[in-house]
Amino acid sequence: MQIWERLRDPATGRKLAGRVRELAARVCDRLGRRLVFMEVCGTHTMAISRSGIRSLLRDYLELRSGPGCPVCVTDQADIDRMIALARLEGVVVGTFGDMLRVPGSSSSLERERALGAQVKIFYSPAEAVAWAAANPSQQMVFLGVGFETTAPGVALSIKEAEQKGISNYSVYVSHKLIPPALKALLADPENRLDGFLLPGHVSTIIGRRAYLFLEEYGMPAVIAGFEPNEILDAVRELLEMLLEGKAEVRNAYSHVVREEGNLRAQKLLSEVFTVCDVPWRGFGCIPQSGLRLREELAAFDAARRFELPPVESRVPPGCACGEILKGKLTPKDCPLFARACHPTHPVGPCMVSSEGACAAYYRYEREV
Ligand code: SF4
């Protein structure tokens, strides 16, 4: 059987599920309580909800979503500044589609577009820089949102703009790094996590090595792929470590993720960005958790190129996204879930994004 067939094979999945439940029962029995694992990545949240893995394991362990949805962790003030950029005369904002409907304090990019602002959806930053080259009379500002996975594409677009002299292209940089967020979670004494399912896509860039600090915290962690069988296999590894009293960082996605990650992408990131402290929704400022443009590329920084009015940001009243991103609550704990907040009327970003926990629960786990 080819690897991809095995990953999707229902018989393998059933066998794995049985093994995982058996191991989970043993660990729970030993600890005298249910376990809590966090799936850090929003794509895992969607895959877990869609496949029914969360309910399959519910008797023994809870899988909680974490801070791995890029749109969701973007601070409200950043959303408001992006909206302020869209309101500027002569500015065209380029963005991935997920950002469009995220509610800011008083508007959204979608609403601004309906009111006449120029907001364009691109599938890659390369398209945005090409658009800027073709429309030199207008200022293209691309919204750089995402983790280590999307930042290299943005870095490349800035290099291209610099090399080709495309001076009407800039980026509003709001990129974030996953390892410092994990540190912030572990530094919180209220968190009761027993293990991490680590993100597959981010790990392709940073490699297993970037997570070794987790071993010092005594936190078992496994890099997981996105097929249901891969997720179950990673959960199995976490449970086996708990049974053996081990706290290692393991790679259950080794057909894609290398020990050292993608060195070319890492080099590109360090050529274009430096690491800085940035605010995350729900967390506040996390040290060394974000990227900003290097001084020599400051001309491509939209936050410096344009004078933005001060924003008075407020988190949507009643929205629990911040606590959900920290794994302290689940979407169903939010009193607005599926009542005042639903996909056609999202109150917070976790209901908008295709990787948001609230969107995943609404779509697949509302009745479970
Ligand atoms: Fe926020 Fe809506 Fe999720 Fe509640 S259900 S946390 S209001 S996005």
Span 268-281, pLDDT tens digits? 999 999 999 999 99
Extract the tokens encoding 332: 């169903």
The response to whether residue 324 sits with its C-beta less than 6 Å from ligand 1 reads yes
HSE value, Cβ hemisphere, 13 Å, CA-based, for 354 = 6
pLDDT tens readout for residues 177-189: 999 999 999 999 9
Q: What is the model's pLDDT at position 4?
A: 60
The CATH number of the structural domain formed by 1-69+189-201+208-251 is 3.40.50.11750
Is the beta carbon of 331 within 6 A of some atom in ligand 1? yes
The contacts of residue 89 (CB under 8 Å, 6+ apart) are: none
Three-state secondary structure call for residue 262: coil
**Per-residue pLDDT tens over the stretch 246-257:** 999 999 999 999
Strand ranges in the chain using DSSP code E only, listed in sequence order: 35-41, 61-68, 91-95, 118-121, 139-146, 169-175, 195-198, 221-223, 249-251, 273-280, 284-293
Mean pLDDT (whole number) for 314-326: 94
Q: pLDDT tier at 311 (50, 70, 90 boundaries)?
A: confident
Indicate if ligand 1 lies below 6 Å from the C-beta of 321.
yes
Fold match, 1-69+189-201+208-251 / 71-177+261-305: yes
278 touches 228 (CB < 8 A): no
In this model, does residue 236 exceed pLDDT 80? yes
The DSSP string of 316-333 is PTT--HHHHHTTSS-GGG
Mean pLDDT of the 56-62 span: 94
pTM (2 d.p.): 0.94
**Residue tagged 């801070």 (tokens):** 67
**Domain extents in the chain:** 1-69+189-201+208-251, 71-177+261-305, 320-365
Q: Is 319 in the pocket of ligand 1 (CB under 6 A)?
A: yes
Average pLDDT, the chain: 95
Q: H helices within 41-124, ranges in order?
A: 42-51, 53-57, 70-73, 76-86, 109-114
71 lines ligand 1 (CB under 6 A): no
Atom of ligand 1 nearest to the CA of 338: 5
Distance CA 116, CA 129 (A): 22
Instruction: Specify the pairing of strand 273-280 against strand 284-293.
Output: antiparallel
SS3 state at 39: strand
The answer, yes or no, to whether ipTM is higher than 0.90 is yes
Among 69, 79, 324, say which to mutate for ligand 1: greatest number of ligand atoms within 8 Å of CB.
324
Domain covering 71-177+261-305, topology: Rossmann fold (3.40.50)
Percentage with pLDDT > 90 across the chain: 91
